[in-house]
A and B are shown apart, each in its own frame.
Chain A
């Protein structure tokens, strides 16, 4: 799978440079508006969609077909997208946490504790895992063009769900350490289930 990951790395560097710029702008804005976590979490959500961008370029260049002539199993072809997504998510989360610490250091505010950083990292990771978990099986089944509709629906669900959770959940419960752990575990399980489902879809698919 090394070749697949290397190819996705080259494509990420070439096509997703703008993501880095967006990440920097959002981090910059978060320095001005330190109370709003949106500017820290949203870049993670954006980066989590990179695998979908990569699949779209794969379809355009016919790599989706060509890769099926190479010595890879269908499971490896799918797995590389989940794996590259996971690596990008981890990088984005680490970057955002670093920005959080930097912001505290620059503004002279209270430095976040290890526990707070862990909770924030867990929330970011959970958000990052949600979108690809919900989108990738559809995109692998229907292609990016039709799957894009699912992508927009997922964005609505994530933002709508987050807003509803903030309004409905009792004060303090939503971001308590226990509920954050639980959310991350649920998202990891969803991610694993989505991976398995995508492999099953790909194994049946004709290209």
Chain B
């Protein structure tokens, strides 16, 4: 069993939205970034994995167990939801005691160290913490009970750039143990670009792409050329094209572009934006 998470044909319909036949595979030791605009289906996917919502069709396997995570499987999951969800009147110490009574593998020393590293105020009630500190406390809890799969829903949003960088480093450190994996949803694509091994693009409930990040970046590039040069390209090589007064700009498959043309590297964010525009 080399997969931390496997999803096949996951489907769920709500009024005005349908998550349509989602397929994802997250190998152990890897970080997958789930990218999508608001309402793309990221949180729905996470809730289906956690059994908070029921799927109409499809299969889920979490850490080798078939079906959405159950109470036993959740011992091995560290979850941070976009609103965190810890009780507002509890301080850091009380949260630690509640979690010690909840998780069999709770590690008070790891929790203390993470709280210190993330500089979270110890005596302030959770409800009075800033959004950034709330998120940090959620992350500290998720990483303090020997979880094998971290599921983070927009966990880096609301953090200032310095703390975000620290959290991104912590997430990357987490997967040094090859038995662990991370599913990280965000619309801040730059964070995902830094740490993810796999990237999945979701748009309006459909999976546009799920691929290894490095493969993706080496497969695609940006071509800036004249409109005539762009016209001469094989249409299958062009993912998206934009003509301006200064020339043409296209996201292209590097392998299908003549060597005479210079293709610049593309960022995940550019690729995502172009793919979403193309899908509209």
Stretch at the interface among A8-16, A18-26, A107-115, A174-182: A8-16
Q: Which residue of A lies closest to B106 (CB)?
A: A3
Assess the A66–B84 pair: CB atoms within 8 A: yes
Assess the B87–A69 pair: CB atoms within 8 A: no
Q: Given A61-B85, A65-B85, A206-B54, check contact A70 B94 (CB 8 Å).
A: no
Q: Which of A60, A70, A76 has the most CB of B within 10 A?
A: A70
Assess the B84–A10 pair: CB atoms within 8 A: no
> Which of chain A's residues have a CB closer than 8 A to the CB of B54?
206
Q: Measured between alpha carbons, how far is A67 from B103 in the docked complex, in Å?
A: 12
A57 to chain B, nearest CB (A): 7
Stretch at the interface among B74-82, B169-177, B234-242: B74-82
> Which of chain B's residues have a CB closer than 8 A to the CB of A6?
97-98, 101
> Which of chain B's residues have a CB closer than 8 A to the CB of A206?
52-54
Q: Measured between alpha carbons, how far is A57 from B125 in the docked complex, in Å?
A: 14
Assess the A207–B97 pair: CB atoms within 8 A: no
Interface residues on B, range: 20 to 34
A159: Cβ under 8 A from any B Cβ:
no
A63: Cβ under 8 A from any B Cβ:
yes
Assess the B101–A69 pair: CB atoms within 8 A: no
B79 to chain A, nearest CB (A): 4
Q: Which of A14, A63, A69, A206 has the most CB of B within 10 A?
A: A69
Residues on B facing A (Cβ under 8 Å): 47, 50-54, 70-72, 74-75, 77, 79, 81, 83-90, 94, 97-104, 126-127, 151
Residues on A facing B (Cβ under 8 Å): 2-7, 10-11, 14-15, 57-58, 60-73, 76, 206-207
